[in-house]
Structure 1
């Protein structure tokens, strides 16, 4: 094994990363606050902040009064230093959004899809990228990267294994990179939602959390000690494919009794139809909302909804007992539709299934960033790289212009 000696340059970049991350995640902050938070000397903080301001990464954002001294100047990441793009690959659409570094949405485009074949998805992501850049006037050379959220397992080389959709070792990152010179970063959609909620939403302040995504499919992002837990080969978090009922309903992955086969929106609607229920629309999101509304007056709908809450609560209880999180955040479009109506009931049901001690230590809350937070989460992927690199930009392959 080769060991690489840490150099002064490495230490400087690491310290820049700590300062920049603090400013981005918790800012605006003063130099004095940064020194306390990072345990770096006041002189080191001052020197590195001066560098970051000179490079345009950080800017001053007003001042606050201090006790017995001069006002303290606040610092923030310059929102127009660079831009980022986030893309959400769903089963029925591809959404592409352009953001500044303050995560303000500058442009959005949606492409409906009938079947999420890899070539179709790549085409729509690249077309969406061109569209949001064209409509906003943002130059490709100022884009840090494109984060793409997909279903399934994403390995370190951005190869996607989505068993439920027939994606078997699809070189997705490479396929996208062949169509643009902007850096491409790919991750599972539950992980990107989790990162967004931990940074900006309901997960803030927690160090051990689970962010659950319930839509057509089901997944989860696991956070332990403040860091994402990925497992040996990045497949941790496939919570939707844990077995909730031995020998139960067939799942799209080919197994039987998976949690997704009972709480994923597609399967909830299928259970309703099999029970004789009828809906006025074939649109999945609209149909799911209609089913929840029908539970107020229809015994069949009420039974399906009650069973869904029961299965989801059992899935949450398994997380409580196994992971012992301090917070579970329920997100995804179907999760939010369900949680907005039935969160107190869901919490009570989790308490019936979970061990008392870990249940007493967990809070169960709704995603704060809305139903479309997956694309926002994807856009944090290039930002994370910028923070880890201490604001140092990678060599650009994109021509200036």
Structure 2
């Protein structure tokens, strides 16, 4: 297949409508859409799938990009997603065509409202039931208080079925326009569905020898009342439970990234970031790579899964997740993004997402559980996190 590689002229940077045109052009099944605070990408078709074999994933990706460049593509890019279980097949491809634009947040047209969801008779089934999820959190807390492990992230799901096939482009529009400065994505799962979401969390990016990571851990729901919203944000910054949860994640990221860097800057205290639904504790880590050959994907694989989506220690937390969660996470809490043949790229934690099929949607949300966690509060937190997607489809708990 002939590759079409479209790039922006310098005069196009910041042009009104450039980024939203890619959002409007997205079509499910054939396209892969990814938007971040730095750029917007629309990949169409497949030039090559990244192989699934015993070799490390970064090596397989590098070989796919090298082959694409040897085949005449001057600037090949891989786009897609990696599962929570790193041994599972990745949904990564070198696209046949790639269009690029500046960030959605820089396009004035992103401020226009997306069409409201059409009325759909949604049936919502929680997996597990809220009481069962709270019981699982309680069981994990008991084990942590007994000294078994330090943290685990427990997730639950909502299965939504409606009286018509989900309108994926319309849902993507609402997600992108609701949090235009975040990370929005839509791509085939590799198993017949579509992974769709709006993540606030950058796992790691690389540009030249500069890396950036932005772990989020510790959160609280937003409020429609301004005074209450501010109070909740201030309380989050002082919450001993949330600060401890956040510190576990930041320390793990520091330990994993330091061997790759000649310099690594980790702020002493977190700040706040907000989405339309949540406040999060946030730390922006920056570093200078010792070896320019280390790709963004290699860095992402070095830190995935972080305690923000798994727990600590990692191996034991994964075991607890397998015991207490009644479903396979699939691509949820994996990694989604892009990387090029020079090693640059952006890889985002796959949260605030759903897997969409002709039959309906499966939504995911999780909460970080530590020894001081309250089961009712963690259940409520996951309910708040579902709001991002429930609002996009016009459903409610």
- TM-score scaled to structure 1, two decimals? 0.24
Task: Answer with 1 or 2: which has the greater Rg.
Answer: 1
Higher fraction of strand: 2
Higher fraction of helix: 1
